[in-house]
Amino acid sequence: MYNSKSNYADEFISHEEIIDTLDWAVHEGQQQATIYSILEKAELMRGLNHREAAALLMCDDQEIKSQIFNLARKIKKRYYGNRIVMFAPLYLSNYCINGCVYCPYHAKNKDIKRIQLTQEEIRKEVIALQDMGHKRLALEAGEDPINNTMDYYLESIKTIYETKHRNGSIRRVNINVAATTVEDYRKLKAAGIGTYILFQETYHRKTYEELHPSGPKSDYGWHTEAMDRAMDGGIDDVGIGVLFGLDRFAYDFVGLLMHVEHLEASKGVGPHTISVPRIRPASDVSAEDFDNAVSDEQFTWIVACLRVAEPYCGMIISTRESQDVRGRVLELGISQMSGGSRTSVGGYSDVDHEVIDETAQFDIADHRTLDEVVYWLMTQDHIPSFCTACYRSGRTGDRFMSLLKSEQIVNCCQPNALMTLQEYLEDYASLKTKKLGETLIARGLHDIGNEKIRLQTIDSIEKIKQGKRDLCY
Ligand code: SF4
Ligand code: SF4
């Protein structure tokens, strides 16, 4: 039944294969010879299949676990260096006809105020985000074919790209909207989106159906096969994820890896990113309602195992997580992070936060401003990057993956991180952040191995200081 190349959700995410994998992982997978041979393969930093990764996830041996943590750090360093790409979510509308029980936007929640931003309000939000320093957004909206139409999304994307305030501009718009048709995905691609993001929530069909009792999203197959349609529609950067805590994390961990394997097998390229959200409380939602809640320790372990299993997928963490947890997973594999986020509709520009906060999709655990997050990252020896260069230079899909796999992408990432950080320091940073940033950039320039690129980057940084913007590799 299990067939990674199949077009059918139940065949590429086969329940029997997941159960069999987990059973194998806790028994045969833990035998010394097996686990050591998996470790040996993992050390090559080329990834693991879902069975091998499941054996590591199930491992209880402290020595092996600490080897995995170290390996995750090494992989992060090798492919992503110490850069962290910054982004912010932008909520367009919380109208939704679905019944997801873990989300306050579900149709039956009458306590929440429903808002859909007009184009003028979107402009205001974008200006507020630009004034913070953001260059990359992830659009969020509920599913509502009457209120949140494809035309509305297309117009909103156009508005966002066209809005320019002072030196600000949004250079990459990613979008997280409901599963749709190939034709609609084509339209999103033509509108210039970066990544199409859609979380599976849980791969466990029965749990999925219980948690999504109504609305179009209740169709497990339609939702699970969405990335296939997105890729058929020409979107070659897709972002997947599960909401950890809905089902057993080990089940969803294996399902997630099978989804990656499916996209690689049937579309020739895996997902651009994996997001790792955990269930959080919100209006009408309590995390205690979910028996499978994931502890901080389990969460950091999942991130490390994912990094080892999938070295080539960027990994994203949001402000659902606290500063402490974000700090812990940073070096284990996270490559993108949101900062200064608001998870409500109109939350960036509206001064009446009390009203707007009622529309929040989930409670934020990291309330720091973008400048505070940028400063903190630098104190952790990470370079906050506002780079959006790849998608704008056509480095997407398999082209991007081959540069990442051959480790050549670093020749773009490091200079771009330094240049975009310099832009941030010039235009938006506090004095304290600017001072620390200048030191970090000087050190970062020193670390560029290729002499020609180093000299070009030094030149570009000088130009940015003199007022030039949007220079990149
Ligand atoms: Fe609607 Fe998405 Fe919330 Fe489900 S998770 S209720 S689809 S906004
Ligand atoms: Fe991302 Fe490409 Fe920029 Fe590197 S160069 S940070 S991969 S957009």
Query: What is the 459 CA–ligand 2 centroid distance (Å)?
Result: 20
In this predicted structure, what is the pLDDT of residue 286? 74
In this predicted structure, what is the pLDDT of residue 410? 86
Residue 142 CA: which ligand 1 atom is closest?
8
In this predicted structure, what is the pLDDT of residue 272? 97
Per-residue pLDDT of the chain (473 residues; tens, 9 = 90+): 899 999 999 999 999 999 999 999 999 999 999 999 999 999 999 999 999 999 999 999 999 999 999 999 999 999 999 999 999 999 999 999 999 999 999 999 999 999 999 999 999 999 999 999 999 999 999 999 999 999 999 999 999 999 999 999 999 999 999 999 999 999 999 999 999 999 999 999 999 999 999 999 999 999 999 999 999 999 999 999 999 999 999 999 999 999 999 999 999 999 999 999 998 767 777 767 788 989 999 999 999 999 999 999 999 999 989 999 999 999 999 999 999 999 999 999 975 555 556 788 888 899 999 999 999 999 999 999 999 999 899 999 999 999 999 988 988 999 999 999 999 999 999 999 999 999 999 999 999 999 999 999 999 999 999 999 999 99
399: buried, middle or exposed (CB in 10 Å: 19+, 13-18, 0-12)? Answer: middle
Closest-CA residue, ligand 1 atom 6, reads: 106
Query: What is the 232 CA–ligand 1 centroid distance (Å)?
Result: 24
In this predicted structure, what is the pLDDT of residue 351? 57
Residue 101 identity: V
Ligand nearest to the CA of residue 197, numbered in listed order: 1
Of 77, 71, 46, which Cα lies nearest the Cα of 414?
Answer: 77
Q: What lines the ligand 2 site, CB under 6 Å? A: 85, 385, 387-390, 409, 412-413, 416
Closest-CA residue, ligand 2 atom 4, reads: 413
* Residue among 86, 237, 404, 412 to mutate when testing ligand 2 (max atoms within 8 A of CB): 412
In this predicted structure, what is the pLDDT of residue 245? 94
User: First and final CA of the chain: distance in angstroms?
Assistant: 45
Residue 388 CA: which ligand 2 atom is closest?
8
Residue 437 identity: G
- Ligand 1 site, residue 100, Cβ cutoff 6 A: yes
Residue 395 CA: which ligand 2 atom is closest?
2
- What is the DSSP secondary-structure string of 75-114? HHHHHHTTEEEEEEEEEEE-------TT-TTSTT--SSPP
Of 156, 149, 147, which Cα lies nearest the Cα of 105?
Answer: 147
* Residue among 76, 334, 390, 402 to mutate when testing ligand 2 (max atoms within 8 A of CB): 390
Token code pair at residue 14:
């086969």
pLDDT tens-digit readout, 327-374: 999 999 999 999 999 999 999 997 555 555 678 888 889 999 999 999
Residue 279 CA to residue 201 CA, distance in Å, equals 10
- Ligand 1 site, residue 106, Cβ cutoff 6 A: yes
* Residue among 84, 413, 418 to mutate when testing ligand 2 (max atoms within 8 A of CB): 413
In this predicted structure, what is the pLDDT of residue 356? 59
The DSSP bridge pattern shows strands 172-176 and 273-275 to be unpaired
Residue 85 CA: which ligand 2 atom is closest?
6
Query: What is the 99 CA–ligand 1 centroid distance (Å)?
Result: 7
- Ligand 1 site, residue 103, Cβ cutoff 6 A: yes
Residue 311 CA to residue 260 CA, distance in Å, equals 12
| Opening angle at CA 179, ends 3 and 256, nearest 5 | 40
Query: What is the 84 CA–ligand 1 centroid distance (Å)?
Result: 28
Closest-CA residue, ligand 1 atom 4, reads: 100
Closest-CA residue, ligand 2 atom 2, reads: 390
Token code pair at residue 56:
């590591």
Phi, psi of 131 (to 5 degrees): -70, -20
Torsion of CA 75, 76, 78, 79, to 10 degrees: 110
Query: What is the 409 CA–ligand 2 centroid distance (Å)?
Result: 7
Residue 90 CA to residue 217 CA, distance in Å, equals 21
Ligand nearest to the CA of residue 359, numbered in listed order: 1
Phi, psi of 285 (to 5 degrees): -135, 130
In this predicted structure, what is the pLDDT of residue 353? 56
Residue 107 CA: which ligand 1 atom is closest?
6
In this predicted structure, what is the pLDDT of residue 354? 57
Query: What is the 450 CA–ligand 1 centroid distance (Å)?
Result: 47
Residue 313 CA to residue 193 CA, distance in Å, equals 19
